[in-house]
Chains A and B, each alone.
Chain A
Amino acid sequence: MNDATKRTRIGRNSNFATRQLVYRTPVGIEIDELDHFEIVRKRVFYDDVLLVTYHRQQSWGFIVLSALVLLLFGILAVVASSVPPLAMTLAAVAAVALILGTMRLLMQVEVVSVFGRRSKAAIHYAYRKAFARRMYNEICANVAAAQRRLASEIAASEPPEERAVEEMPPMPEEGTAEPS
């Protein structure tokens, strides 16, 4: 593996329809979309990035799922109240769903989005708020550095502009000097 293919996982973007793992490489962001037993890889190169955004949003899917689990296991716990060990186990599952759902409702999800010319990447952080902010800053810094480097490469590869040579007035020939 060379330097360009070295990558570190920086987050994920998962919902009911998509499962994406997001990695950082020295040249950009790599998105591995898991499609059954196949991984489809996309890249957003730092050279190509137009916009990086950061926002906080509510993850309604997770909250609805937690509410459904809470409802289902809560009802089952009530129904099985005549068998205390079973009822307690079911109630514990319902309590976990309640805690997770409430936490997600209060904390929300931090989303870092990277928009390139041809592709985009989104990274969701449910719990690691400081890490999300750090990633946003690091991605911005990497993009700025890569684009600065590219601009200097382009400038260096362009031919130097021909400097306008300041024309000197013709030297007066000897003997033809005008009398002062």
Chain B
Amino acid sequence: MAIPRPAYVGPQCPRCRAALPEERLHDGANVCLSCLGDFEARIFHPPQRSARVLQLAHSGPEGGVSCANHARNAAVAACDRCGLLICSLCQLDVEGGKLCPSCFERLSQEETSDTTRTRFRDYGSLAGIWAIVGLIFSALMLGIPLGILSLYYCAKAFRHRESRSSLGFVIFALLLAILDIFFSTSILSTIFRHK
């Protein structure tokens, strides 16, 4: 279970995490007034993106179609997923396409889009853990099923590259899984040979 942390509210002191008012900050060396710790800082003022909303009343003599969510706003696009007509307030540019808020919400819940996805299964760690457990219990012949399970997770880790913690670790887990299977198989063959 993840440890709950206080919500992020904006720039903080990198040492004591006390809130840093912008007026007290400047480019270069700074000192936190809470902990008296020093740090180097570079301040930025990101430009605000403002969506210009075209209202139906100002959309010209031809008139416009109204947005499905905002009756007074003129639609400027159609959602690429459901075809709903949306105004510039509702329009969300995702992976080169235009989505309405409800489709964006659905995509992020289904976690089908790489951009909206925030949770991934760490197949690399799973492969590593099962390979190590398999190696420990390889004398009990568990190296074969656990090695195969580890190989399966290695394949998943190679396929889902975005959910891989480290390539080196996956290769290590792969070698360990092969070793598990080899150990258990050799023990099994030795037992059968002696019988």
Binding site for B on A (CB under 8 A): 1, 4-5, 17, 21, 32, 34-42, 47-55, 57, 111, 113, 115, 117-120, 122, 136, 140, 143-144, 147, 150-151, 154, 157-158
Contact = CB atoms under 8 A, between A and B. Distances in A.
Contact of B42 (A17, A52, A111): A52
Contact of A38 (B10, B30, B121): B121
Contacts of B49: 150, 154
A21 to B, nearest CB: 7
Contacts of B25: 51
A50 B44 contact: yes
Contact of B121 (A37, A53, A122): A37
Given A51-B11, A53-B39, A39 B122 contact: yes
Given A1-B161, A42-B118, A53-B39, A151 B47 contact: yes
B116 to A, nearest CB: 11
Contacts of B43: 50-51
B47 A57 contact: no
Interface residues of B, number: 42
A154 B161 CA distance: 35
Contact of B41 (A38, A53, A111, A119): A53
Contacts of B114: 5
A120 B9 CA distance: 10
B44 A21 contact: no
A54 B40 contact: yes
Contact of A41 (B119, B126, B166): B119
A1 to B, nearest CB: 7
A178 B30 CA distance: 72
B162 interface: yes
B44 A120 contact: no
A51 B119 contact: no
Contact of B125 (A1, A34, A140, A151): A34
Nearest to A9: B166
Contact of A117 (B10, B41, B119): B10
Listed from nearest, the 3 A-B pairs whose CB atoms lie closest are: A55-B39, A115-B11, A113-B14
A32 B124 CA distance: 14
Considering residues B22, B30, B122, which has the most beta carbons from chain A within 10 angstroms of its beta carbon? B122
A140 to B, nearest CB: 5
B14 A41 contact: no
Given A5-B114, A50-B11, A150-B49, 5 more contacts: A21-B166, A51-B20, A115-B11, A150-B46, A151-B47
A177 B188 CA distance: 120
A158 B45 CA distance: 19
A119 B122 contact: no
